[in-house]
């Protein structure tokens, strides 16, 4: 799972290499998003603030392109509105350049798909290699952890394209 908040840290980043995680040789991730984690305070924490849409609020990019293996896939389910949905976990491993040094990166990212991508993902076997396109959002409506919301994917033969 990708988490942006850490104890005592304020993190704001226009992420081109996702949360200092991915973008390179064996697999590619291009995440351009703004991620802000509030400082951890002592005592009770207020619920996360939701940005309010205003004319002055600039729209910021939030796109994820991730090559990864489908490590877990839930069963196809339906929302109360009748929309197909499926939860999944992706496992990514690659070599990335960071501060002029190559490093090995391994991570897991949870995700959810709705509609046609959910139906299609329900037929994909765990272990399959995928090129996934989507965006980052809160995993749960009231939570602070992130999940990838899958808009589309394609099966790939091998990582490193």
Domain ranges of the chain: 11-39+60-155
* pLDDT tens per residue across span 94-138: 999 999 999 999 999 999 999 999 999 999 999 999 999 999 999
Res. 34 pLDDT band, cuts 50 70 90: very low
Three-state secondary-structure class, residue 27: coil
Label residue 148 by pLDDT band (50, 70, 90): very high
DSSP 45: P
* pLDDT at residue 142 in the model: 86
Average model confidence (pLDDT) for the chain?
Answer: 75
pLDDT score, position 140: 83
Instruction: Provide the β-strand partners of residue 90.
Output: 70, 109
Contacts of 57 (CB under 8 A, 6+ apart): 51
What integer pLDDT is reported at residue 96 of this predicted model?
94
Residue 14 pLDDT greater than 50, yes or no? no
At the fourth CATH level, the homologous superfamily of domain 11-39+60-155 is: Nucleic acid-binding proteins (2.40.50.140)
The CA–CA distances, whole Å, from 102 to 15, 21, 99, 110 equal: 18, 12, 8, 25
The pLDDT of residue 46 is 64
The answer to whether residue 161 scores a pLDDT higher than 60 is no
* Average pLDDT of the segment spanning 13-29: 36
pLDDT band for position 49 (50/70/90)?
Answer: low
């Amino acid at each position: 799972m990708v988490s942006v908040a850490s104890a005592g840290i304020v993190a704001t980043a226009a992420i081109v290499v996702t949360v200092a995680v991915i973008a390179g040789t064996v697999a590619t991730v291009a995440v351009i998003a703004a991620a802000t984690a509030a400082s951890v305070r002592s005592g009770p924490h207020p619920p996360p603030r939701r940005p309010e849409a205003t004319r002055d609020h600039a729209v910021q990019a939030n796109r994820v392109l991730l090559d990864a293996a489908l490590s877990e896939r839930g069963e196809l389910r339906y929302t109360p509105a009748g929309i197909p949905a499926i939860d999944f976990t992706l496992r990514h491993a690659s070599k990335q350049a960071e501060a002029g040094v190559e490093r090995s990166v391994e991570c897991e990212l949870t995700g959810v798909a709705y509609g046609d991508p959910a139906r299609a993902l329900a037929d994909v076997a765990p272990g399959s290699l995928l090129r996934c396109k989507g965006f980052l959002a809160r995993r749960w409506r009231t939570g602070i952890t992130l999940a990838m919301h899958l808009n589309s994917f394609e099966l790939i033969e091998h990582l490193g394209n």
